[in-house]
Amino acid sequence: MIESLRRGAASHPSQATGAAGLVAAFVMTTLALLGCGRDGVTRYEVPKEAPPTVSQRPMAPRMGLPSAPKPTAPTYTLPAGWTAKAAAGMRLISLAAGKGADAADVSVVTLSGSAGGIAPNFNRWRRQVGLPPMPTEALLKILEPITVGGQQGQLGVFVGKDSGEGARGVIAGLVARQGLTWFFKMSGSASAIQANTAAFRAFLASVRFQGGAPAGRVANPPGPAVAKGLAGGARRGGTPQFALPPGWTAKPASGMRLISLMAGAGATVADVSVVSLPGPAGGLSPNFNRWRRQVGLPPLAPADLTAALEAITVDGQAGHLGVMSNAAAGAPAKSGVAAALISRQGKTWFFKLATSAEALKGHLPAFRAFLASVRFEAGAAPPEAPPPKSPSAKTAPAAAANPGGQP
């Protein structure tokens, strides 16, 4: 039909326009008829996606390292007259040394890594009491080597000048252990630091980073059974026997120490240690001058130092005894040391008592009796402690305190 219409339009040009209209109408009608039998167009509504909730949203990666768990507080023996306080903030241990307004504040804090290093920290404590910072080399010379819980460290005592509100002081120990730096610090008035220096040393000597007592609890001091065992032969290999003087207490030995004792109690307590090193271990003058620096005294020339030492004998071995303190040096925080050095069978033995300058003289008779009781041979029984004799040691001459108020 469509072909006939096209031929008709071609043979009758005048009807072309009308034929074209008929063709268009026919096409439209046909398309309409073809769609009549099919389903209608279906509409689909796609719901909008709900915004993701907080838990569904992808989390941005957290920057930095995860925070390390808080270290466990070490155990320790609470000195007489001290009080434990609630530890807050960065503190693992918080104590009050003494009572009333003049009590010194004692804290134990730990930080990861080197925590700034030795010189920056000790110079920071110097600035806290109004003292100027010191060059690293000069600072290291006035710091005292210490052992805390078997770990080596440094101890500094700094007392500032009175600026009208009373002089302030700080005694602080810094110990590195297993990737952490431990800070043991006592701060307060100069008089409080002076009164509690010996007790602070005893506190440091009692610290145990790993022990049987619960973390942060005060460990019971060793009783007479421990002392008897040490004196009777149940001890570490190579440790000499000795008679424990009255009023002294044996403590667990750790680190380099073969023997660790506490002489007395309270403000007059003294720390006693016995250490052995191979060979000359530095020699006579370097060791005794090191002990002099620990109490704030300048070193002496070898000839002058030898003249100030006392010749002694410990279990048949000749040695030297030095008694050193800064009691007359004008330093607010005064300390004292009595130390003996003995050479025996290729080893050097160090017997040392450290306390306050005021208490040093009172401890000398018992320290001498302790030295007299020492027996190096394991088979030799220690004698009874002889009665204490009046002190007759030559005391190293006192000297002016270090510049900047450092005792």
Give yes or no: residues 291 and 321 share one domain: yes
Q: How confident is the model at residue 318 (pLDDT cuts 50, 70, 90)?
A: very high
Region 116-120: mean pLDDT is: 89
Which of residues 391 and 116 earns the better pLDDT score?
Answer: 116
Decide if 104 contacts 97 (C-beta within 8 A): yes
**pLDDT, position 331:** 56
pLDDT digits (tens, 9 = 90+) for 188-215: 998 899 888 888 999 998 899 864 333 3
Same domain membership, residue 259 and residue 115: no
Q: Both ends of the chain: CA-CA distance in Å?
A: 127
Mean pLDDT of 85-106: 90
Longest dimension (CA), the chain: 156
Q: What is the pLDDT of residue 4?
A: 53
Residue 167 domain-assigned (yes or no): yes
Write out pLDDT tens, residues 42-69: 555 545 545 544 444 444 444 444 445 6
What pLDDT is recorded for position 216? Answer: 41
Q: Are residues 177 and 249 in the same domain?
A: no
For residue 395, what pLDDT band results from cuts at 50, 70 and 90? very low
Domain that holds residue 190: 72-220
Burial class (CB in 10 A: 0-12, 13-18, 19+), 302: middle
Kindly calculate the radius of gyration of the chain based on its CA atoms and give it in whole angstroms.
42
Q: Is 210 in the same domain as 237?
A: no
Query: Residue 202: which CATH number?
Result: 2.60.120.1690
Residues 257 and 317 in one domain: yes
CATH number assigned to the domain comprising residue 371: 3.40.1000.10
Cα–Cα distances in Å, from 126 out to 130, 187, 315? 6, 11, 44
pLDDT at 164: 65
- How many structural domains comprise the chain? 2
Q: Do 296 and 382 fall into the same domain?
A: yes
Closest CA to 129 of 96, 163, 94: 163
- 407 versus 92: the higher-pLDDT residue is 92
- Based on the domain organization, do 246 and 183 belong to the same domain? no
Return d(Cα 131, Cα 138) in angstroms, integer. 14
Q: Is residue 22 part of a domain?
A: no
Give the SS3 label for residue 154: strand
pLDDT of residue 330 exceeding 90, the answer is: no
Nearest CA-CA partner of 292 in 339, 257, 351, 328: 339
Least confident of 33-47, 71-85, 98-112: 33-47
Read out DSSP for 86-149? ---TTEEEEEEESSGGGPEEEEEEEEETTTT-HHHHHHHHHHHTTPPP--HHHHHHHSEEEEET
One domain for residues 213 and 279: no
132 within a domain of the structure (yes/no)? yes
Q: Are residues 240 and 384 in the same domain?
A: yes
In this structure, the answer to whether residues 93 and 231 fall within a common structural domain is no
Domain-terminating residue out of 220, 243, 261: 220
**58 in a structural domain:** no
